[in-house]
Amino acid sequence: MAMDRTFRIKVRMRRFRRQHPRIAFAIRSFMIFSATFGGAYGFVSGSRSENSGYDPNTFAVGASFLFALACLGLATLSMRLRFVNKRMRKLAAHNETLIDRNWELKEAEERARSLFEQQGDLIVLRDHQGRISFANDAYCALAGQGRNALVGTRFDFDVLEQGDSARESNGTRIHDQRITTPHGARWIAWREGYVRLDAGQPAELQSVGRDVTDRTETERALSDARDQADAANRAKSRFLAMASHEIRTPLNGMIGMGGLLLDTTLTPEQTTYARAVKTSGEALMALIEELLDYSKIEAGKLDLDQRPFALSTMIEEITELLAPRAQAKTLEIAAYVDERLPLEVVGDAARLRQVLLNLAGNAIKFTATGGVALIVEPGIWPNEISFLVRDTGIGIAPEARTRIFREFEQADERVARTYGGTGLGLAISERIVKRMGGRITLESEPGKGSTFDVAIPLAPSQSGAGQTAFPSPDLTGKSILLIADGIEASLIARRLERWGGQICLVSDGAVAEALLPERSWHAVLVDRAIGAAIADHLGEVARKHATQRLVLLTSSSRHEKFSASFTGFLIKPLRAASLAARLALTPEVASPELAPEPPAASPAGVVTAKGLSILVAEDNEINALLMRSLLTKLGHRVVIAVHGEAALESWLAASSAGTPYDLVLMDIQMPQLDGIEATKRIRTHEAAKGGHHTPILALTANTLVEDRYACFEAGMNGFLIKPLDRDKLDEALAGLAAARHLAV
């Protein structure tokens, strides 16, 4: 405190000296004078006094002491002076650098300011009461007023149009405004946020605006142009729709008249010409229909119906409609509607039929061998139904898979030339499906075939709830032998399995004949496609073993006669209801002997002198049956084991009895102990005993390389791929016999 006070007094005195140098000089002179005068006077009067005892010696000592003191004082003063001079020089240098810095700062500020002003952005700061505290040149120029006139006022531009405003995460508000200025209306994009310039002051609103008039106007012009183009496009589509509609009427007349002309007596030449007129007319009509449809959809004139319809009826109608076209190319066509689906759904049946007809029509068009299947299943979402159109045709290359859904696009120019078409079908189909709220997806492997999947939401119809189209027969525990090949056969088998039946599907007539005596069959279904003579023969053989013998006919061969040994026939493509009705019937002709018979004498030549003793490990009853009859037919002795554990036991028993098996056929997937594990155990036993090595062949439906490795690793000698037929089995056994022969 005391220090403080003295310091303050000192500062004040110094200030006083600076302010009043004359008064300070007078005071200082007066003080020096009075001190000198006082000293001299005291000294003189002291030395003159009577009783002073003046001693010249002492006087001389005193005088020299004082002189020394004065000299000391002078020396100290001179040192101080030098020190002060040094400080002065230092301060002068420092001062110079400060002046330089000051210049630099001024220049930098100038530069920053000019840069800031050159941006052309408007910058204005307002205090919490909305009064302008700063406005840059651009703002002043746009406002047409000087800065002094603006600062301190609540000036703002008049707003003509206010755009949407958005807020950034840091609180900055962004919005567009159209404002009036002395230079006309301008669009300004503002960014506004609060800034605190001085710690003690309330925050100020900083607005930075950029003139975006040109950009905004260009955008508006573009959007107007697009609207106009859209309108023009719609008008064009409407025109196209009208024109195609108008063209259809005279074209109809031409086609009709062509037909009538063909009914009259014509020379062969005339017939050719008239036919050409008619077919060209029909081709043109088809094209116009598509164009009309397309333009209708484009013009937004696609109104969808919402009416209940029966799913399976529609699908069966489609397959029946396309069947002649497929059969003309010797292709199969078949349909399957999943039982879990509602019988009736609500939607636009006509448009859905159009899409499916187009997809299935394409499937037939682009397939040379095999067939086309239409499969209807529940989709991935509730109430969604998935319509799969699968073919075994040429397939579609990956790069063409999105392109073909665009108008007038075809997968391949060369292909298009061979097959014809306009490339509109898929474009129309996709638009219809999208309009229904669904989607079309495509999976394809070039050379192998394609699958189009149409998934659309279709609600079940209320009126149809709880009904069933036809009573499905109860086939639980009943065996059915289906002798057929191809897409439809597997779909029929799937349906029969759904009804509870045990299905044995064979494609080979000889195998079927061997299987027939094995049990009493509830029904035997024979497809004529395997050959009319074989089919009739099978019907004859089946007489003894099956209650119902049905023959499947293609519609092209429906007028053919079939052997009287059949109890009925079904037309392909099959209707589920007809199949159900047929199978639910009580047998018309009860067969006299239904008990299984010992197998008929095997054809000569097939039976080897000594058949092999073979252990078959197979859990599927029907497959086991098939193996047994095939092998017995070939003259071998067969023992069946129904799981791995049983196979192992049987093998052990036979080995210890001294009659080991010549061969084991081992199914891979079995309950309890699978084929791989059972094989490993057999090999372990053999290794322990060091004796006979039994050949083991795997029976598998899997053709994966990893599975093959697993088989070999477990010690198997090979494998047979299911479904098995006589040739495959014969070949494998011949190979084995040769090996055995060599070993002997």
Residues that bind ligand ADP (CB under 6 A): 358, 362-363, 366, 391, 393-396, 404, 410-412, 415-416, 421-427, 450
Contact indicator for 484, 527 with CB cutoff of 8 Å: yes
- With respect to ligand ADP, which residue has the nearer C-beta, 426 or 493? 426
- Residue number with CB closer to ligand ADP (450 or 655): 450
Residues in the chain: 744
Following DSSP, what letter does each residue of 647-693 receive, concatenated?
HHHHHHHHHHTT---SEEEEESS-SSS-HHHHHHHHHHHHHHHT---
- State the number of CA atoms in the 13 A half-sphere of 68 facing the CB: 6
Closer residue to ligand ADP in complex, CB, 404/530: 404
Alpha carbons 588 and 491: distance in angstroms, whole number:
26
CB of 488 to ligand ADP, least distance (A): 18
Give the residue with the Cβ less far from ligand ADP, 371 or 464.
Answer: 371
CB of 357 to ligand ADP, least distance (A): 11
Is the CB of 409 or the CB of 645 nearer to ligand ADP? 409
Q: Where are the alpha helices (DSSP H) in 119-145?
A: 137-143
Q: How far is the CB of 527 from ligand ADP (least distance, A)?
A: 25
CB atoms within 10 A of CB 194: 12
- Written as six digits, the tokens of 97 are 């650098």
Shortest Å, Cβ 411 to ligand ADP: 3
- Name, in order, each residue with C-beta under 8 angstroms of 310's C-beta and a sequence gap of 6 or more: 343, 344, 464, 469
- Minimum distance of ligand ADP from residue 283's CB (angstroms): 12
How far apart CA 461 and CA 309 sit, in angstroms, is 8
> What's 592's DSSP letter?
S
How far apart are alpha carbons 674 and 695 in whole angstroms? 17
Q: What phi and psi, each to the nearest 5 degrees, are found at residue 308?
A: -70, 140
Nearer to ligand ADP, 218 or 418 (CB): 418
Using CA atoms, how far apart are residues 133 and 74, in angstroms rounded to an integer? 62
Distance CA 13, CA 24 (A): 10
Q: Is 595 exposed, middle or buried (0-12, 13-18, 19+ CB in 10 A)?
A: exposed
Q: Which two tokens stand for residue 214?
A: 């040109």
Whichever of 366 and 566 has its CB closer to ligand ADP, that residue is: 366
Shortest Å distance, C-beta 579 to ligand ADP? 27
Nearest distance from residue 387's CB to ligand ADP, in Å? 14
Shortest Å, Cβ 424 to ligand ADP: 6
Contact between residue 301 and residue 435 where contact means Cβ atoms under 8 Å apart: no
Q: Count how many Cα atoms sit within 13 Å of the Cα of residue 290 in the half-sphere of its side chain.
A: 18
**Dihedral sign, CA of 342, 343, 349, 352?**
positive
Chain position carrying tokens 């594990």 = 677
- Shortest Å distance, C-beta 363 to ligand ADP: 4
Of the pair 148, 408, the CB lying nearest ligand ADP is at: 408
Q: Which is nearer to ligand ADP, 376 or 673 (CB)?
A: 376
* Helix extents (H) in 697-743: 705-714, 726-743
Select 180 or 280, whichever has its Cβ closest to ligand ADP.
Answer: 280
Instruction: Tell the smallest beta-carbon distance from residue 412 to ligand ADP (Å).
Output: 6
Q: How near is the Cβ of 305 to ligand ADP at its closest, in Å?
A: 23
| Least Cβ distance, residue 435 to ligand ADP (angstroms) | 17
Which 3 state secondary structure label does DSSP give 229?
A: helix
CB nearer to ligand ADP: pick between 295 and 567 = 295
Burial (Cβ within 10 Å: 0-12, 13-18, ≥19) of residue 540? middle
Closer residue to ligand ADP, CB minimum distance, 140 or 400: 400
